[in-house]
Amino acid sequence: MRLKCYFLSTVSSYLPGVWIASGLIIFLSLMAKDAQACYAIVAGKDATADGSVLVAHSELNKPDRCFLNFHVIPGMSHPADSRIQLQHGGSYPDVEKSYSFLWSENMGLEGSDGVMNQWGVVCVSDGTPSKETDMQKLKDMGQIEDGGIGFRLRIEVARRARTARQGVRIVADLVERFGSRHAIHFVIADAQEAWIMALPKGKQWVAQRVRDDRVVALPNVNIIQKVNPSDTSRFMVSDHLIDYAIRRGWYDPQKEDTFNYKKAYGQPKWTGWFEDEYGKDPRQFRGQWLLTGKKPDLSKEGHWPFSVSPRKKLTLEDLRQIMSDHMEGTRFDPTNGYREGSPHDLMGPRDGAICDQRNQEVGIFQLRSWMPPAVGCVYWRSTAAVCSGVLTPWYAGITDTPESYHVNPPTRKNNITPWHFDPPQSVFQYNDNKAFWIFNTLENLVDIGYRKDIDTIRSVWSSFEKEARAMQAPVEEKALELYRKNPQQAAQFLTHYCSGLALEAQEKARQWIKRLRTKHFGY
């Protein structure tokens, strides 16, 4: 939906007035869909076929304007007296040297970026509402200081962390200093382990480790439940997490033996038909169903577990399929085998659709510990909805992305915050030379004739991705050979390879845009 308006503006000259009117009706009806509905699947290294930690994440938003800026921020040295200035007034000392990182930058938004740094540390996030809603009250209570912090949290994980555990501590330190402006769950992972970190607004936080043999399905709901602060191998918590909940009247240790974060701090995400009927989140239901091969019991009271044991060792392709799911073939599927139209137009996250028309990006991070992070950690990424899109690889060691994937401010290397929130308006204007618009246009064209076109476009991208996976081993063998002699040469090699493959996918998308436009509009 987020791009129907842009799409209509670009093709309106080709279309009869009736089609435009009906298209606008679809657009306006979709405006009522969920404004924010990210999703993640997090698999421990013993739950995957190749021994990697796998993190899949979709970024879904409905801003008034949108552009994903996919680029590399280089590692840099900083003067001893340099400080980071926050968007809302606070500041803190910078580090002497920051790490390089791949950044999927959601321009203008405070809490919607994805990062992977040179050490293979990943940070993505899903908004998860809490009982803390009154910002003024939080300020009065000292839970928000100097305007609080939001946008910089992911960036500081990328700039400073060599491990996931260190990334959790970096977020914790900043939140305890300023207070989080958002209620959110972070996924912070490396090639050894993954953590789910929950922040209500304010200075409290809790993190739970994903067991190596388990998998987490994370929609926009609080999933951390019983917390044992003394078990430091599985939990990290703020010093006053439990005491604060007692003071607010959210937890009574006289009545409950074990502290439950979800019960104390969380509250329902939204009111939708599925949650009204079953009292549970439909995408957590669908994710756990696909992961385990067993449909969770909707009749039972209580909440589903934090993590599950998968029915088999998971692969990159398995996570891709889950992230492309629209409840196909179930009694919750309203499309009747797509005969009623595109699932993107007929359903959304409230209906259990994991893949949604507002997918700005789907990323699957493949984090492998037996190679240097520069080669062993890969960000497989699809612009727009992945059901009609393509995943291409981006290695942690690359130094740049193609010009069509990014726009760069003049001060990119020095001060990223002001430009992120106030870029030129041209950044958000349709530009058919940018990958963001190319792949979203293809998605929208597929949606017009989804039943007839989706299998064809999936076959095109399936062949493309199969070839890319077949190339992975020889490409990495060559990269490792170069890395042992000269890491910079390995970086150049991987940068050239990733850029070339991405540009090839972009050109193929252009060809299919032309074919589908001709099919639907005659030219």
All residues at 6 or more sequence positions from 133 whose CB lies less than 8 Å from its CB, including other chains: 201
The shares of helix, strand and coil residues in the chain, as percent rounded to the nearest 5, are: 40, 20, 40
- Cα gap 205→177, rounded to integer Å: 12
**pLDDT in the model for residue 111:** 87
Q: What is the DSSP letter of 349?
A: G
Task: Evaluate if residue 7 carries a pLDDT over 60.
Answer: no
**pLDDT in the model for residue 410:** 56
Please report, rounded to a whole number, the percentage of residues in the chain having pLDDT higher than 70. Answer: 91
Q: What is the DSSP letter of 280?
A: S
Please report, rounded to a whole number, the percentage of residues in the chain having pLDDT higher than 90. Answer: 83
DSSP states along 65-99 = S--EEEEEEPPEE--TT-EEEPTTS-EEEPPSEE-
**pLDDT in the model for residue 313:** 98
**pLDDT in the model for residue 246:** 97
**pLDDT in the model for residue 182:** 94
pLDDT digits (tens, 9 = 90+) for 141-188: 999 999 999 999 999 999 999 999 999 999 999 999 999 999 999 999
Task: Evaluate if residue 19 carries a pLDDT over 80.
Answer: no
**pLDDT in the model for residue 296:** 94
For residue 347, give the amino acid letter: M
- Cα gap 142→176, rounded to integer Å: 10
**Among 89-103, 226-240, 292-306, which stretch is predicted with the lowest mean pLDDT?**
292-306
Phi and psi dihedrals of 456, rounded to 5?
Answer: -65, -50
pLDDT digits (tens, 9 = 90+) for 27-83: 333 333 444 589 999 999 999 999 999 999 999 876 678 899 999 999 999 999 999
Q: Is 5 helix (H, G, I), strand (E, B) or coil?
A: helix
- Cα gap 41→58, rounded to integer Å: 9
Task: Evaluate if residue 501 carries a pLDDT over 50.
Answer: yes
Which of the four pLDDT bands, split at 50, 70 and 90, describes residue 17? very low
Residue 364 half-sphere exposure toward CB, CA atoms < 13 A: 23
**pLDDT in the model for residue 21:** 34
Average pLDDT, the chain: 91
pLDDT digits (tens, 9 = 90+) for 264-310: 999 866 568 898 899 899 999 999 999 999 999 998 888 899 999 99
